[in-house]
Amino acid sequence: MATGCAWGQQFVTGEFQTVLNTRSESLTIWQMAENPNVYVFDFPGLSFQGRSFNRITQFTEQQTTEPYPKVLSNAELSRFIEAARRTQADFAFGHDVLVSELVQFFNYATRDKVELNQEEIFIRDFLTEQGLIRFWRGFYQAMRPDVVLLSIPQPQPRQASEPVVTVGARHAILLHELAHGEYYTNSHYQKFCQRFWYETLTEGQREAFKRFLSNFNYAVTNDELLINEMQAYLMFTPDPKSFSASKLGVSEAELQQMRSTFKRGSPPIRLPMM
């Protein structure tokens, strides 16, 4: 396990098992040893994670009615989360975002004079310190647009304002988010998933995934988002509370058939599949 530092903000290099099994009461930023283009923000609390990434995730994954890309104000975000019957803590249990998307987020926030919170500013400063983005002539620019930021929570007991996160749930969240990181950074795997979506899954199976994802307010008109979420849920979410045949609306046999077909295609990925 190695440590790196940029302008005082440290990150730690670690392998999958190290990240999974490390416990901390403060934020840890990991650079994955298996894929240095992936950083994992490891949060000691779901509300802390939510303040950091909820607005970003709403911007990148859940805008379906806005006439143009829009960073929500604090009041707008609160109404959006409330309408989804969620809270700051459980709006999402993990997050994934490209540096190229973060640049758009910060530029639109600047354009619309949206006041960001200190956690979001911390992310922006971290990106700048790492040389992943820069501020140039009034705009943020992506210096390494294909680098990925993920976030996961530490295990925690149920609290008054936050749900429980078990050790098993942490494992499922980390694996799911790393699958997103692999999709973003591994072009061979990305092409494999695209072919699986368009050429292997039936129209009915694609519609099943769309219905499933629409329940979580994903922008289901975005095919790239659908494909990325499909592979992460189908093959890398070993938690029946998050994903199962019944939640997808198919039989157990059909779900296992999809997984077997995916595996038989020998996807170019090293993560452990379901």
Residue-level pLDDT, tens digit, the chain, 274 residues: 655 544 446 899 999 999 999 999 999 999 999 999 999 999 999 999 999 999 999 999 998 777 788 999 999 999 999 999 999 999 999 999 999 999 999 999 999 999 999 999 999 999 999 999 999 999 999 999 999 999 999 999 998 889 999 999 999 999 999 999 999 999 999 999 999 999 999 999 999 999 999 999 899 999 999 999 999 999 999 999 999 999 999 999 999 999 999 999 999 999 999 8
The position carrying tokens 């098993």 is 168
Residues 6+ apart with CB under 8 A from 226: 197, 206, 209, 210, 213, 218, 220
Q: 125: buried, middle or exposed (CB in 10 Å: 19+, 13-18, 0-12)? A: middle
Give the integer Cα–Cα distance in Å for 212 and 209: 5
Helix (H) or strand (E) segment spanning residue 183: helix 167-185
* Gyration radius (Cα) of the chain, Å: 18
Give the integer Cα–Cα distance in Å for 45 and 153: 6
CA dihedral 245, 249, 253, 259 (to 10 degrees): -60
Q: What pLDDT sits at residue 109?
A: 97
Q: What pLDDT sits at residue 3?
A: 54
Residues 6+ apart with CB under 8 A from 110: 139, 140
Q: What pLDDT sits at residue 4?
A: 52
| Structure tokens belonging to residue 61 | 């994954």
Angle, CA 138 vertex, CA 95 and CA 116 arms, to 5°: 40
Cβ atoms of residues 51 and 119 within 8 Å: yes
Q: What pLDDT sits at residue 2?
A: 57
Q: What pLDDT sits at residue 254?
A: 98
